[in-house]
Amino acid sequence: MPDSTPVIHLESVTKVFYTDEVETHALANIHLDIAPGEYVSIAGPSGCGKSTLLSILGLLDSPTQGQYLLQGQPVESLSLSQRCRIRNREIGFIFQNFNLIGDLSVWENVELPLTYRGMPAAERKQRVQQALEKVGMLHRAKHLPSQLSGGQQQRVAVARALVGHPAILLADEPTGNLDSANGEAVMELLRNLHKDGATICMVTHDARFARHADRTVHLFDGQVVEEEKAAGQVP
DSSP classification of residue 49 = S
Q: How confident is the model over 2-21, as pLDDT tens digits?
A: 567 899 999 999 999 988 88
Burial 104-139 (b: 16+ CB within 10 A, else e): ebbbbbbbbbbeeeebeeeebeebbeebbebbebbe
Say which CATH superfamily domain 36-59+80-229 falls into.
Answer: P-loop containing nucleotide triphosphate hydrolases (3.40.50.300)
Share of the chain above pLDDT 90, in %: 79
Which residues lie below 8 Å from residue 160, measured CB to CB, with a gap of 6+? 92, 100, 109, 110, 112, 113, 131
Distance, in Å, from the CA atom of 226 to the CA atom of 13, rounded to the nearest integer, reads 17
C-alpha distances in angstroms, 77 versus 27, 65, 143?
Answer: 20, 13, 41
pLDDT for the residue 172: 93
Which residues lie below 8 Å from residue 222, measured CB to CB, with a gap of 6+? 15, 25, 26, 27, 28, 30, 48, 49, 52
Domain boundaries in the chain?
36-59+80-229
Asked whether the predicted pLDDT for residue 68 surpasses 50, the reply is yes
Which 3-state string (H, E, C) describes 201-224?
Answer: EEEECCHHHHCCCCEEEEEECCEE
Asked whether the predicted pLDDT for residue 233 surpasses 60, the reply is no
Model confidence band, residue 216 (pLDDT cutoffs 50, 70, 90): very high
Asked whether the predicted pLDDT for residue 76 surpasses 50, the reply is yes
Asked whether the predicted pLDDT for residue 232 surpasses 60, the reply is no
Asked whether the predicted pLDDT for residue 63 surpasses 80, the reply is yes
35-44: average pLDDT: 94
Q: How confident is the model over 120-175, as pLDDT tens digits?
A: 999 999 999 999 999 999 999 999 999 999 999 999 999 999 999 999 999 999 99
Q: How confident is the model over 77-119, as pLDDT tens digits?
A: 889 999 999 999 999 999 999 999 999 999 999 999 999 998 9
Neighbouring C-alpha atoms within 13 Å toward the C-beta of 197: 3
